[in-house]
Amino acid sequence: MSQCLKKKMLFNPSNFKKNYNKNINNPELKKSLFRSRKIVDSRKIAIKSVSDFELLRNYSSEIKNISISNLHQLLINWEKNAKKNGTIVHWAENYEDVNKIIYKIAKKNKVKNVIKSKSMLTEESGLNDYLIKKEIKVTETDLGEYIIQNSNEPPSHIIAPAIHKSKEQVSELFSRIHNQKTTNNIEELTQQARENIRPHFFNADMGITGANFLISDSGSTVIVTNEGNGRMTNTLPKVHVAVTSIEKCISNFEELSLMLRVLTRSATSQNISNYISITTGTKKQKDLDGPKEFHVILMDVGRTKILESDTWEILKCIRCGACMNHCPVYHTIGGHPYGWVYPGPMGSILNSSLLGNKIAGDLPYASTLCNQCGVVCPVKIPLPELMVKLRNRKYKSINIFKFEKIILTFWAFISKNPRIFNFFISTIRKILKLQANKKNYISSILGLKFGWFIKRFLPKPK
């Protein structure tokens, strides 16, 4: 089996249970995930650098509310302004469109080498595999993306895609692909990647990036990065293609300045990221650098459908990753079991909204609803509420004879009949008491060791 196919089979939300079980028992991953928890403390410090972070959350939430309710007008205005600056605008309804448009641009410009930075949407559309099949070389230039591209893995976090890997694992990978000695020195490893990625920047004839924001008033795209490769990707090659989805549009730079204040603090605990790259059209006469051709692909792929549904608030997401950084489930299983581009709480909602119940309907159940995500979300998306709404969607679609539905229907029935309810409760008490051992705990019920009893007992009723 080819590695690609193997990756695809494992990387599927409907395999959630199988995939997380493997991850729970992976000690190396456990260590990596434990290290990543440091971000919780650093965010606490970062948000203290503004006098009232809650107020900023309120503002940015409102900005996204208004932008999304006004999306149609903002996008028309954005397109008009983008075209004025020489940007070529494409609208894509599905993933096939996205890949085809990019290939068409590549063919026209005789592109052989593509460099990429910060694009989750081409991850959604499976662009890399598509272009490689067409014999175009694709190189990811973000350090994390470079690592996972070379180890043939999907990302496990939206802003730190290789967070599941230890430096030892990276060292082993690099020694293999760079033909160098292994080293556990992170700076040396970074330097190795830098030296190996650099030639690709100069050889590339097309740069592909995403866009964190679209600015309607100026027709610009904005990317927020830390490594500097984003800026090189969108200025060095003669053709730059930015792929983004329609919900990223906001009105103006005043709004952007506010959004950036909450985004970088929530994402990487920084007051501001190292780079904010704003692209407004192609290279002008007096400009020192910039692409000759600038294309923006605006993807819908299910977004308008979400917009009309009861989970529309997930479209407010600015991809900071704070929800997964604060999620006890994500901390336990990592990002891969979610089986698609987006992990953690926002991923459960977005994957399930975009791919549907049949494929990703289990994901919204994979949460304790503790709301640690909801209280840190910089745009105040009520994540647990949306998960419950998606559970409702799934619940309505499942067969009445499914075990879970039988139990819940039974529970509701007895709850409506207090006498039967009390009889049932006292019976349950008796059964549980009989199951307990001398030390007053229960390790299975009627011989059944279901989920609860994995490395855990149940206290005996008092």
Q: Which residues of this protein are in contact with other proteins, per CB under 8 A?
A: 17, 20-21, 24, 328-329, 331-333, 365-372, 374-375, 388-396, 404-405, 408-409, 411-412, 414-416, 418, 421, 425, 428-429, 432, 439, 441, 450-459, 461-462
Per the listing, tokens 């930015």 go with: 242
71-77, long-range: CB within 8 Å, 24+ apart, which pairs?
71/246, 71/247, 71/249, 71/307, 74/216, 74/249, 74/250, 74/251, 75/214, 75/216, 75/246, 75/249, 75/298, 77/216, 77/217
The structure tokens 């329609």 sit at: 246
Indicate the residue among 278 and 369 with the shorter CB distance to other proteins. 369
Shortest gap between Cβ of 392 and other proteins (angstroms)?
A: 4
Contact 85, 296 (CB under 8 A): no
Nearer of residues 202 and 411 to other proteins, judged by Cβ: 411
Minimum CB–partner distance for residue 403 and other proteins (Å): 11
Of 165 and 394, the one with the shorter C-beta distance to other proteins is 394
Pairing of strands 213-215, 220-225: antiparallel
Give the shortest CB-132-to-other proteins separation in angstroms. 35
User: Rounded to the nearest whole angstrom, what is the least distance from the CB of residue 87 to other proteins in the complex?
Assistant: 43
CB of 198 to other proteins, least distance (A): 41
In terms of CB distance, is 37 or 284 closer to other proteins? Answer: 37
Q: Which is nearer to other proteins, 39 or 241 (CB)?
A: 39
Are 162 and 144 in contact by the 8 Å Cβ rule? The answer is yes
> Quick one: which of 405, 298, 307, 404 has its CA closest to 353?
307
**Comparison of 343 and 374: residue with beta carbon closer to other proteins:** 374
Residue placing its CB nearer to other proteins in the complex, 9 or 431 = 431
How many other C-beta atoms are found inside a 10 Å radius of the C-beta of residue 114? Answer: 26
Q: Look up tokens 């900071």; give the residue.
A: 320
**21 or 185: CB nearest other proteins:** 21
Burial of 462 (0-12, 13-18, 19+ CB in 10 A): exposed
Q: How far is the CB of 123 from other proteins (least distance, A)?
A: 25
Rounded distance, CA 321 to CA 39, Å? 11
Q: Which of 171, 204, 198, 173 is nearest to 185 (CA)?
A: 171
Inter-CA distances, 102 with 29, 86, 107, 113, 401, Å: 36, 18, 9, 13, 47
Positive or negative: CA dihedral 83, 88, 93, 94: negative
CB of 25 to other proteins, least distance (A): 9
What is the closest distance, in whole angstroms, from the C-beta atom of residue 448 to other proteins in the complex? 11
- Helix, strand and coil in the chain, % to nearest 5: 55, 10, 35
